[in-house]
Structures are given as structure tokens and as C-alpha cells.
Structure 1
């Protein structure tokens, strides 16, 4: 193993990096004038100990530790076992979130799904960036639909936007808000379609497109509220 890889995989280095990222996230949150819109129903469910499934876009991960009312309930974030996903998990744990790592191996992810359903049964909500961990950008996977079908729990789309910020040169065009004198919005809206327990592949695809459109709609709405140009596909 090369020295560079040893350093990159060092627990001390990884933890130091996670703390620096968490500091940036806290600085953004502290120095931004936020609006929090559409959270009434989610807050009430969290107060009652009723778990939900939270869906977000990978592009809007930078403020994800503030998406869910952690003062009212617990949430488990689904991350990738790859290095970048592992770092997301480390950062989210610093804010008090639970995490589960998925891999590219199907057998492992069957076990993850069982663990997810187990957490839901224990009253823990689940959060997932539904186009992650590698994209394509804003192409929603069926994973949250499968969990909604199995658990019968409600699905909420959550996003954020900020007036001042830049998009990283990553596959998801990660939005990085300016950490001072900023204005932002957290927007939460329930996706109200029902996922039948015996949904066919065709029905599941129709529902997938519906949730994908829901996520794009609320993200575009959040962007417009702070004066950002809404997302458009590459090319």
C-alpha cells in the first residue's frame, strides 16, 4: 500500500476531514438567514414517534444534517460504502444521525434493506439521496419506493437552496453555499402517491417518475425562492 493511500485511509485523517466539513456546514447554517417551509406535518409525525422516508437529491447534500428535526426524532441516512459516501456518513454522525452503508453488491443490499425495515419498525426514519451514489444526476432509483411499499410509511421530499453559492465540478453538481451573509430555504413537501404492496414493474416505473418529478419541482421552487436559476440537465 502506498504512503498516499495509507494517509487517505487513516482514521485520524478521515475524522479530521469530517470535522472540518462539519464545521463548514455549521458555519453555513449559522450565517444564513433561513426560511423553513412545509415542515408542519413532518414535525408532528416526528413528535409522535412515527417514522417516515425522506428523499433528497445528491446535489443538495451539503446541508442534509439540518433537513430532519433531530430534536424530535431519529433518522438513519443511507450512504455509500465508497470513500466519498463513507465521509458523508462520518459527517452526518457528528450531527447525531445514524447511518447505514450500501455497496454495489446486491446480496449486501438485501441485508441493508432488512436493516432499514428493522429501523423503521423501531420508529427510526430513513433518509436517502435517491440519485446517489454515482448518478445519473437526478435520475431517481426505485429504492425509496420499495421501502415505502414494504413499510407502508409516508414519503417526504426535502431540499434546500441558498442565494449565494457555487456548484462543484462533480457528477451531481453539488451546491456549496457561501458560509457568510447568505439567505436560504429548507423546503419539505410530502409525496402523496400510494405505493401498492403488489405494484407491478410498470406501476413502479410510473411512481418512480412521479417521485422524480416531485423532487425536481420542490428543488426548482426552492431555487426560485432565493433567486437561483433552477437546475437544468447537462448538455
Structure 2
């Protein structure tokens, strides 16, 4: 009985620590500091952002999509010095931490939970867009399957009429974590590329299921092609393991 109770107290204490606002904020600051170190200590090429930059310079919000695997450098995949962006995160512990980190870089976030209806989430997102705020979303988040694009960016593009841009990055010296998305973790003092490409398809107002599926696959292919291109540019084999 003593052992069971003792174990229960230990688990409860760990949970309290993990759920502590102070602890979570401390961890978020440490993560953000590491991401800044990676970016500042490395040499980066930023390619293909001319159209996106021009739009946000004019106050035009856009929809930015990427794979969940390439989230760690997300604060550098949008010109935060030019315009605001709001990202969609999960309300689960890992997603909440990602949101805290992004907020430290000046990004706004909306937490997506199983209790929040898609209609309510879309209403909140479209409200941000009407305020001139761009939207960022991991197309296969928050739980995957890995690199399977959801229809959510398409629906928001159709409803808002805003242009969609795929973004990604890669780095020569990095490894992939053992998570569902094989999270890409670049190391400091490396070389990397940050790529952007517009998705030029339009989503018809009355698109049927077959049209939506074809467009979903097209956006998925763009994200895969762009990420593979970034990997090749830094000398990595696309979808490689630890580097």
C-alpha cells in the first residue's frame, strides 16, 4: 500500500510540475533561446519570398502552410517585422508549449481542441483575417498522419479569398526526433535555406468532394516538393534520418 501511495504522489507531483505556468513559461523561454541561437549562429538563404513580402507590405493577409516536421524555425518563415501572423496550435501539452514559444517571438496563436467545433475555429480564424492578420497552419497537424495534408487550408482559402503560400526550411547539420512527425531539429553553426512558394490553385466556391480532394493532393505535392528541394539544397537526402 505504501509503495502504491508513494508512486501515486510522485506521479501527482510530476503532473503538477508539468502543468505549472511558471515551469511551462521557463521551458518555453529555454526553447525559444535555443531556436534563436540556431538561427543567429547559422548562415541562411531566404528564397522565394518576394510575392509574400510585397503582399504583407501592402497590408494584405495571407495563409501560410508548412509541414509539422518543420515547425521549429517557424518564427523565421514569415516576415514578422512586416506584419502579424496568427498560428493554429493544439490545446494539448505539446501544442500549448509550441504556442508559448511562438508567442515569445511575437506571434499570435489560436488553440485548437477536440471540444472546439470546426465552425467556431473557422469563425475565429476568418475574424483574424478580416483584421489583416495572416494565418499559419501545419497542414498535417496537430497529430498527423505525417505529411498528409488536411482540407482545412483549402476551406479557409475558399472562404477568405486569400492567397496561400507553402513555406519550409532545411539545414545541413540537423537530426530528426523520434516523434510522429519526425520533428526536424537543426543544430547551431550550420548552413540552411528558407523557401517559400505560392500555391497558385484556386478553390471554387462550390467545389465538390472530388475537386477538393484533387486540390488537397496538389497542395500536399507542393509541400513535399518544396521540402525536398530545401533538403537537397543543403546536401541532405529528402526524408533522411539523423544528419
TM-score by length of 1: 0.96
The one of 224, 234, 238 equivalent to 1:226 is: 234
Gaps in structure 1 of 5+ consecutive residues:
none
User: Larger C-alpha radius of gyration, 1 or 2?
Assistant: 2
Shift of 1:183: 0.2
RMSD: 1.2
C-alpha separation in 2, matches of 1:19 and 1:106: 28
> In 1, Cα distance between the equivalents of 2:215 and 2:73?
27
Q: Structure 2 residue aligned with 1:202, among 190, 198, 210? A: 210
Q: Quote the offset at 1:97 in angstroms.
A: 0.3
Give yes or no for the alignment of 1:216 onto 2:216: no
Q: Which residue of 2 aligns with 1:86?
A: 96
Structure-2 residue corresponding to 1:67: 77
Q: Which residue of 2 aligns with 1:126?
A: 135
1:129 and 1:232 map into 2 onto residues whose CA distance is 20
* CA distance in 2: counterparts of 1:106 and 1:90, whole angstroms: 20
- Aligned residue for 2:73, secondary structure, equals helix
- Name the CA distance, whole Å, in 1 between partners of 2:240 and 2:215: 22
Structure 2: tracts of 5 or more residues without a match: 1-10
- Deviation string 1:42-65 (CA, Å, 9 cap, x unpaired) is 110110000000000000001001
Q: Count residues in correspondence.
A: 231
Look up the match of 1:137: 146
Is 1:161 the counterpart of 2:170 in the alignment? yes
Q: 1:232–1:183: structure 2 CA closer, same or farther, 3 Å change rule? A: closer
Q: Output the CA distance in 2 between the equivalents of 1:150 and 1:63.
A: 28
Match of 1:183 in 2: 191
Which stretch shifts more, 164-173 or 98-107?
Answer: 98-107
Q: Distance in 2 between matches of 1:188 and 1:227?
A: 19
State TM-score, norm by structure 2.
0.93
Distance (Å, rounded) in 1 between the aligned partners of 2:42 and 2:197? 22
State the 1:232 CA deviation. Answer: 7.0
Q: How many angstroms apart in 2 are the aligned matches of 1:116 and 1:3?
A: 37
SS in structure 2 of the partner of residue 159 of structure 1: strand
